[in-house]
Amino acid sequence: MAKVVSLAYYLMCLQLNIKRYLRNLFKKRHQNKNQSRGKEVFKSERTFLLCRYPEIALIFWDFNTDEIEESVLFFYIRKRMKYLHQDLLSDEEVRLINELSEKFNEGISLLE
């Protein structure tokens, strides 16, 4: 019985290692293909700490993280703007919202 269990465990580990190997191989080939075409493989976005923006952080009540990418931040600010108390926003938060509006909303401000 012990040999059967150890053989099953060995085969399961082997299967996982093969899957990992193939996934990494595919990623490397895909990255090399995109680089050879002159495309940018990974475009990094800025991340923001929600603790630096306390009033904005209140509308992210359902998020379980403190860091958030700028496109996601703007999407949820735009979606939940009616829950944001604009008179309580700090100057830094207003500056951030205007900057994201310029970048993702064609310069049309979300603030009144």
Q: What is the pLDDT of residues 16-58, one digit of tens each?
A: 667 676 677 666 666 655 555 554 444 567 899 999 999 999 9
The 10s digit of each residue's pLDDT in 52-108 is 999 999 999 888 888 999 989 999 999 999 999 889 999 999 999 999 999 888 888
Range of the domain at 99: 47-104
Q: What is the three-class DSSP state of 48?
A: strand
In a domain, 3, yes or no: yes
Query: 52 and 38 in one domain?
Result: no
In a domain, 111, yes or no: no
What's the CA gap between 13 and 30, in Å, rounded?
A: 26
Q: Tokens 């009616």 label which residue? A: 82
pLDDT recorded at residue 29: 62
Query: 90 and 51 in one domain?
Result: yes
Query: 100 and 52 in one domain?
Result: yes
Q: Higher pLDDT residue, 55 or 9?
A: 55
What's the CA gap between 60 and 58, in Å, rounded?
A: 5
**What kind and span of H or E run contains 47?**
strand 47-49
What's the CA gap between 74 and 93, in Å, rounded?
A: 12
pLDDT recorded at residue 45: 79
Measure Cα distances from 64 to 6, 45, 49, 67 in Å: 39, 19, 12, 9
pLDDT recorded at residue 41: 44
In a domain, 110, yes or no: no
How many domains are there within the chain? 2
